[in-house]
Structure 1
Amino acid sequence: MGLAPNLPTYYLAWTFIGAGMAAGLYDAAFSTLGRLLGSDARASITGLTLLGGFASTLGWPLITGMEHQFGWRHTCFVLATVHLVIGLPIHLLAIPRSPSLTAEGVSTPDNPAESGVPDKSGSRLLLLLAVLLTTQSLVASTMSVHLLDVLELLGITTATALAIGMMVGPSQVAARLAEFSIARYLHPTWSTRIAVVLCGLGIGLLLLATPWLAFVAMGLYGAGIGILTIARGTLPLALFGPADYGTRMGLLARPMLLAQALGPVVAALILERSGSSLLLIVMCALVAVSLAVSFTLPDK
């Protein structure tokens, strides 16, 4: 990207970056933890997302400062160097290549107690889980891309909208701390239900178009999204066990990535033609679908 002489090369660079993100962000990390730690991976998944919650909080100001100081091309070179000099050696040298579990701790497809469900029931359960996570991914990607536009169309000033948007990051971290310390005693299905309700309440409060309530709304929404990020890793592990965990994570990631790509585009059309209120109502309806589906999942 830093060397891109024209727009097609710039788009090609984003294509490579997108492929790298699909292979190297939470889904791949969760699969790795599930492979290494088996059913005991929940605490590590939560801890990983807790640390990851600071990525945008620390990274965006740092990258913005570098861009202002050195220009965007040199900033790209610095980021590429960090990936190669810091990130790559960690992946090559610090991550074990084989599970540390004993033979008894590793589940197999032939062990019903570990895999949790028979094949037919498992396929139905995987489909329901995919619907829940994909719907929430669509909501999250839409809100992430269009939040400032939605707030401004509701009559909230740009400066206030920016401050409201900043509530999401700290709320995610706070919710993940709560998950790590308190909610870890809940079944992941119940954590997911709580998170979906928080998201729905947050989006619904935005419809009132009141600035101080919008701060509360984004606090609730951010908390819900923070917990749902953890649920992406812990819920499949709890429902199916560690056997073929990486494969299931890959199957679940496909529709989620499609939703993340298409959701903001469709949302932009709704915003342009019908305004922010209709978009928020649609988002609330999708959250309601997610909540209904969550009650079809086992919670013990």
Structure 2
Amino acid sequence: MATPLGPVIAALGVTQIVGWGTTHYMPAVLAAPTAAGLGLGATAVLGAFSWGILVAGLTARPAGRLIDRLGARKVMSAASVIAAAGLLVLAAAQGLAGLLAGWTLLGLALRSILYDGAFAALTALAGADARRAISLLTLLGGLASTAFWPIGHWLDTALGWRATLVVYAVLNLAICLPLHWRFAGGPAGARGADDRPAAPAHPGMSLPARQRRLALWLLAATFTLHAFVASTMAAHLPMLLDGLGLGTAVVVSAAALMGVAQVGARLVEMLMQSRFSALATAPPSVALLPAAFAVALAWPGHATAAALFVILYGCANGLMTIVRGSLPLAVFGSRGYGELLGTVAGPALAVAAAAPMAFSALVEAAGPRTGLWLLAGLSAGSLASIAAMALVVRGRPPRTTKAPDRQCRNARTSRP
């Protein structure tokens, strides 16, 4: 009997909320008090965060390979300890060197404790049914900022930023570590904790080696271009809305629609899974990105247009999280899935680390509207890449079980 997925999704959902909230979303709340406490500029503190994201990108593929080899349980559990250590180093930091050391440790852990590790765990446990499990997990993970931004503000006010980071470290050890060890599972194809067989492997599509490499490159290009846009929007959305000539009240109201749009889009995607494949839903999901920027550029200064812009972007961003987990599985299969996610995530994370500062420099030199045009162009490039990939793999039958290892090696050795 296959491992019941309900408890696994719930447990990993909790670890995603804690993991995202205490690491990736933490600087939004604690960067300013950290900078003030250490006598540093906000740019230096956020630069240390960008360094951590870069480390995550450089180590994404090795981390994925470890998950494939050792199983998500061991890797995600070890990464929870490393993340806690990084948070404690940040809490004890006396200057920029301490921040860089702490974010180096966090960068080593990020890809394993966040979606890549959880997606690999669900794929090993659910096999061909992993797409729905991935969608459910992202619904829970989407609550991280909603939960931890107010928690972080409250803890910082009551205890200070150093004690807040210590609390975050304790949460990773007391909540994430035991849940990862109990529920994340072993390597794909291994038997579960109760000696039950894991779900059958997802075969993926039968692709010749050349088409397989091309599809991998196009997939990496899609995610990398989107990563620049998403990282920039996370850092500069209020500034971009303000640059459209909107008042503060409109900017705040429009920005608040982001989370609602993300969750709503994920719910719709989950309801439509029985009718549309992951490959069929990917291009329309990406198409929402250039559509959002087209609205912002066509009707600047209009509150309704700003709201529509945020809603379209929020839907695209919410769906892209699911696409990033389900599309590689549908095309390339579950063998070597952890390393495959790391392969396509590496370039995207490197770009995401540099995007906010690069975009800020562009806006200072040329203005917000020029920045919007850049993001629109990159979004169009992401759409073109995913459309081209869909054409490359269109109509290909599922891969047979013959010589799966050879086809898996073709995907793993094709670096984007």
How high is the TM-score relative to the length of structure 2? Answer: 0.67
Q: Does 1:86 align with 2:175?
A: yes
Residue 299 (structure 1) shift: 4.7
Q: Distance in 2 between matches of 1:89 and 1:103?
A: 21
Residue 10 (structure 1) shift: 2.2
Aligned to 1:110: none
Query: Could you tell me whether the CA contact under 8 Å between 2:93 and 2:99 is conserved in 1?
Result: yes
* Residues 166 and 90 of structure 1, relative CA distance in 2, 3 Å threshold: same
Mapping of residues 120-269 of structure 1, within 5 Å: 120-207=210-297, 208-209=299-300, 210-269=302-361
Aligned to 1:53: 142
C-alpha RMSD of matched pairs (Å): 1.9
What amino acid does structure 1 have at the position aligned with 2:101? Answer: L
What amino acid does structure 1 have at the position aligned with 2:367? Answer: G
Q: Distance in 1 between matches of 2:374 and 2:140?
A: 32
Q: Does 1:29 align with 2:118?
A: yes
> Which of 352, 362, 383 is the matching residue for 1:270?
362
- SS state at 2:172 partner: helix
Aligned to 2:103: 14
* Residues 19 and 165 of structure 1, relative CA distance in 2, 3 Å threshold: farther
Q: Identity across aligned pairs (percent)?
A: 34
Query: Could you tell me whether the CA contact under 8 Å between 1:188 and 1:299 is conserved in 2?
Result: no
Deviation by residue 1:59-116 (Cα, 9 ceiling, x = unmatched): 1111111111221111111111110011101111222224469699236xxxxx6552
- SS state at 1:120 partner: helix
What amino acid does structure 2 have at the position aligned with 1:52? Answer: G
Deviation by residue 1:123-181 (Cα, 9 ceiling, x = unmatched): 11101111111111111111111111112222223333222212111110111111111
Query: Could you tell me whether the CA contact under 8 Å between 2:91 and 2:165 is conserved in 1?
Result: yes
How high is the TM-score relative to the length of structure 1? Answer: 0.92
Deviation by residue 1:5-50 (Cα, 9 ceiling, x = unmatched): 2232123212222222232211121122222222221011111111
Structure 2: gaps spanning 5 or more residues: 1-89, 396-416
* Residues 70 and 40 of structure 1, relative CA distance in 2, 3 Å threshold: same
Q: Distance in 1 between matches of 2:223 and 2:145?
A: 22
Q: Distance in 2 between matches of 1:223 and 1:184?
A: 20
* Residues 155 and 104 of structure 1, relative CA distance in 2, 3 Å threshold: closer
Q: Distance in 1 between matches of 2:199 and 2:159?
A: 54
Q: Distance in 2 between matches of 1:135 and 1:83?
A: 31
Q: Distance in 2 between matches of 1:198 and 1:104?
A: 34
Q: Does 1:39 align with 2:123?
A: no
* Residues 104 and 211 of structure 1, relative CA distance in 2, 3 Å threshold: closer
Residue 239 (structure 1) shift: 0.6
What amino acid does structure 2 have at the position aligned with 1:198? Answer: L
What amino acid does structure 2 have at the position aligned with 1:287? Answer: S
Query: Could you tell me whether the CA contact under 8 Å between 1:191 and 1:227 is conserved in 2?
Result: no
* Residues 142 and 90 of structure 1, relative CA distance in 2, 3 Å threshold: same
Which structure has more relative contact order (CA 8 Å, sep 6+)? It is 1
Q: Does 1:69 align with 2:158?
A: yes
- SS state at 1:155 partner: coil
* Residues 190 and 159 of structure 1, relative CA distance in 2, 3 Å threshold: same
